[in-house]
Amino acid sequence: MERLKEIWENYRYQLLILAAIVGLVGGWLIKQPAEAPLQDDQAMMTSSTSSMIVTASSARSQVCVDVKGAVRHPGIYKLKNGARVNEAVAAAGGIVNNADMKQVNLAKQLTDQEVVYVPVNGETVPGSSAAGSADAGNPGLASGTTTINLNTATKEQLCQITGIGDKKADLILQYREQHGQFKSVDELKQVSGFGDKSVEKIRDQLAV
């Protein structure tokens, strides 16, 4: 006991300083794990926010268009904002041999969710001077002047023809898949559900 008192008397200041240092280091070690998750959360929030900003910026820099008709690979394509119809056609693999490019405005600037429709020779498309518009992609039949090509029409376009519903449109597509392209409008009579009278009623709305 006397020895301890002697040590204390001789080294009290050193011991107090050592105790203070130990206390500070211990307090820091205890506190550090509690702060780490907070730092991790802040890092995650920063990363998530940055990701959202990048995603939103990317979305604004692109347009998504649906390319249909006489192209090699019809489908939905994402292009840079400000792209033109010619870029959409190129993305779809270019045109097929019987495409009627006189009705397509290749210089037209694309908008998001637009339909780019390339007709074939002999097919009449309203607004052909601005192909790629909604009217060009979904030609109406009210005027009686629009024709739908049996060899390139989608199911949606076939259903716009008077007297053709989902079932008949599917039969036309099935026949086209099995037998190839229609040689004439009269060949439609070979499809189940179409007779002489029904074909005559819609002949002026069809082309091959």
CB count, 10 Å around CB of 83? 18
In this prediction, residue 153 has a pLDDT band, given cuts at 50, 70 and 90, of confident
Question: Which range scores top for mean pLDDT: 41-55, 57-71, 141-155?
Answer: 57-71
What the block records as the tokens of 161 is: 């023809």
Residue 204 belongs to a domain with what CATH number?
A: 1.10.150.280
Report how far residue 207's alpha carbon sits from residue 150's, in angstroms, rounded to the nearest whole number: 6
Report how far residue 89's alpha carbon sits from residue 118's, in angstroms, rounded to the nearest whole number: 8
Place of tokens 């205890």: 30
Closest CA to 184 of 156, 158, 151, 159: 151
41, 60, 82, 194 from 87: Cα distances, Å: 44, 18, 10, 39
Does 65 lie in the same domain as 132?
yes
Query: Domain range holding 76?
Result: 61-139
pLDDT of residue 80: 94
Could you give the number of structural domains in the chain? Answer: 3
Q: Are strands 75-80 and 62-69 parallel, antiparallel or unpaired?
A: antiparallel
Does 88 lie in the same domain as 52?
no
Boundary of a domain, candidates 139, 155, 174: 139
